[in-house]
Structure 1
Amino acid sequence: MGKGQVNKYLLDQWIKDYRWMINTIEELQSELPIKGAKTAQYGIEATLPKASGGTSDVVFSEMARRSNHLRKINDYIYKIQEVQKRIEKVTEPRETEVLFWLLEGKSLRWIGQHMALSHVTIKNIKDSVVDSMLK
């Protein structure tokens, strides 16, 4: 995801995805405490020609897979920060409650039952929350 203009659709999606993105980051940080480890080649290995195309080195392939995942994690961090810096713009009590439960990963129906409102009303409140966050 590029770091461009945040629109209503993107912000709505980031709110929906917020909980699992947080969980993914927490899990990764607990399992991978070492960041930025690099491997250098010295001696004769540094002078040998490198194969072009794919590689059969399983360790290299695993490191590439993890590197790609870390790039996605950095994207998640950007999205989470964008949502978090807009939370304070939501000031209405109903909107604040709906936003809290959305960020906890609850469905519109669950929130509606919890607040004794229809899921359609909750959807309208959610739309109002997203509009408030974009101001």
Structure 2
Amino acid sequence: MLKERTLVITPDVLDSMITDYHWMVNAIKEMRAEMVIGAKTAQYGIVATLPKAVGGVGDPIMQEAIRRSKNIKRVAEYEKKLLEVQMLLERVTGDRELQVLNWMLDGKSKRWIATNMGLSHTHIQNIKNNIVIQMINI
């Protein structure tokens, strides 16, 4: 039985999850789009009696299947992180914090947010730190 890794949320981990949220959403979309579910076809006649390659080292189709299976695992890991952030969104209070958080989740930079809110880059960083504290504290 495989052990499922538990996600330990520290302020630094949550900070990076908020920062990476936008690209993880896009990565999930792209990886799901390229996932193709194929069907096995049975072999009949003399083809069924021929020896098969062991390990799939020389088989490019097998290598592609292995690569895509790794993508499936990565998609599951990204989805888990996204769900963690989404579960903690309710804890954020304050209009300013919510606006900064929503723009960050949309992939906007702190400098862009600072320019559009008329605040300094440092002030946006302080707001982000407050957001992380609100999300972690119960």
Under TM normalisation by the shorter chain, which class is it?
0.7 to 0.9
CA distance in 1, matches of 2:17, 2:48: 45
Amino acid in the other structure paired with 2:136: L
CA distance in 2, matches of 1:70, 1:4: 18
Aligned to 2:109: 107
CA shift for structure 1 position 8? 0.8
Q: State whether residues 21 and 107 of structure 2, in contact with CA within 8 Å, keep that contact through their aligned partners in structure 1.
A: yes
CA distance in 1, matches of 2:53, 2:105: 47
CA shift for structure 1 position 31? 3.7
CA shift for structure 1 position 28? 2.7
Aligned to 1:85: 87
Aligned to 1:71: 73
1:9 and 2:12 aligned = yes
CA distance 1:63–1:128, change in 2 (3 Å): same
CA shift for structure 1 position 70? 1.2
Runs of at least 5 residues in structure 2 that lack an aligned partner in the other structure: none
CA shift for structure 1 position 109? 0.6
CA distance in 2, matches of 1:20, 1:118: 25
CA shift for structure 1 position 26? 1.7
The percent of aligned pairs where both chains have the same amino acid is 36
Aligned to 2:131: 129
My pick for the range that moved more, 21-30 or 89-98, is 21-30
CA distance 1:38–1:71, change in 2 (3 Å): farther
